[in-house]
Amino acid sequence: MKISIAIPTRERAEFLGASLATCTAIDDPELEIIVSDNASADDTARVVAAAGDRRVRYVNTGARLSMRQNFEFAVAQSTGDYVMLMGDDDGMLPRQFGLLKSILRKHRPPVLASRPLYYLWPSPKATDMGGRLKIARQGLFGGLARQASAGLIEKVRDDRLDRNDFLPMIYHGMVRRDVVEAVRERTGAVFSCSVPDVYFYISALAMLDEFEAIEHPFSIQGIGTKSTGVDARQGTDGGESPAERFAREAATDPIVDPIPGRLPAIEMYYLNAVEQANRVAFGGKLAPNYGAYMNRVGAALIAAGPEKVAEGLPMLQRFAAGLAEPGDAVAVLARLEVAAAAAPAGAALAGRRRWMLPSYASGGKVVVDLKRLSSGSIADAASHADTMLGQGALGDDDRALGSWGGVLARALPLIARSLISTERAG
């Protein structure tokens, strides 16, 4: 069985090398690793060549495309029985790959969803939290569980998804080849929205009655300093930001989002993906609760401040005015306009910061500050995470073998080293 890991990239060579290192460390001669370069002008091609692994295949779009188009191009180059997408600042967990492949071979699910770890790369903007690897007890060593699409569709409709829900992701999830082709055949493209990861899992719900999921990580979703999502929340210090570049290139894409342009809140991008999936994959039959979505987006805009409200509210009003059945969206927006005018500037952003040890272990969480142990790259994070998790294996009961006690035992030496380094540095 061949698994394809596709990595769309654009001028992030400083992250890509570490990301590739986590893939090439996987012991599987059948693995296909595709780097889809969106006409980068940096050292991307050299970084890929330096990987020195025949399983790595470098492809170049030849001209600058939108992010969506590069995702589409990357998947089109893949030849595996299963396909996964990950970002160029993300990483695989090599010691968990055997468990992953065992599940796919044994059950051949249309989609296998899992719980990736999350890691914020060290950066000047994340001095407290950046470079700290977190592993929570919840989300480890679970069993394979079937997920029904119908209940998830209802949650998408009413904006009730939460972090405990598994979704048929291609981004950090495994999707069988025939499912990828079914999405493309029905909608004309695998990704028909500028937010390809969210769009895909909502669209896949329209194609699948059920899929499989497991409470265990096989990868790490990294958040680097050039992340579009980070920029959307924090902004940049000058020049064209990742979010601005994202919007400019999306404007050249023949597929147009329901709310076009650069959006002032991440929640608006999510609404875009929901509505596009409604139109393209569900044929307008998803019937989202627009009032619920407007409430969430409006709260995010108010929290971000008056400038974001002034930018985002007219966009939402134009979007609502174009809906055939807006429900209570218009009324919700009218209430939000009043609430935004009454909200003190910056009040929603105020909060109390807590001091905490840079590395610690508790009954339900392990945190290790990698900045004191290594460079803090995603490759370092993956290596230390694999050390704590141990070798991934599948039990006879379709559960991931391992225990939280084992994680704690392997984590304590790392925590001790990190704290000693912190004390010496101080």
What pLDDT digit, counting tens, does each position of 351-373 carry?
444 456 789 998 899 999 998 88
The mean predicted confidence, pLDDT, of the chain is 91
Residue 247, token pair as written in the block: 């919007």
Angstrom distance (rounded) from CA 114 to CA 218? 7
Domain ranges of the chain: 3-114+132-191+204-218, 280-347, 360-425
- Tokens 């039959």 correspond to 285
Between residues 42 and 374, which one has the greater pLDDT?
42
Residue whose token pair is 């101080």: 426
pLDDT tens readout for residues 132-171? 999 999 999 999 999 999 999 999 999 999 999 999 999 9
Query: Of 211, 210, 209, 204, whose CA–CA distance to 282 is shortest?
Result: 204
More confident: 243 or 48: 48
**How far is 104 from 116, CA to CA, in rounded Å?**
17
For CA atoms 411, 415, 418, 420, the dihedral sign is: negative
Token representation of residue 97: 């790959």
Token pair of 392 as six digits: 């991934």
Q: Which fold has domain 3-114+132-191+204-218?
A: Spore Coat Polysaccharide Biosynthesis Protein SpsA; Chain A (3.90.550)
Q: Which pTM value belongs to this model?
A: 0.92
pLDDT of 373 reads 87
The whole-angstrom separation of Cα 111 and Cα 174 is: 6
Of 84, 78, 87, 110, residue with least CA distance to 97: 84
Report in angstroms the alpha-carbon separations of 295 from 162, 285, 314, 324, 339: 16, 22, 15, 19, 11
Question: For residue 373, what are the CA distances in angstroms to 18, 22, 377?
Answer: 16, 18, 11
- pLDDT at residue 307, as a whole number: 93
Please report, as a single letter, which amino acid is at residue 351: G
- Please state, for a pLDDT cut of 70, what percent of the chain lies above it: 92
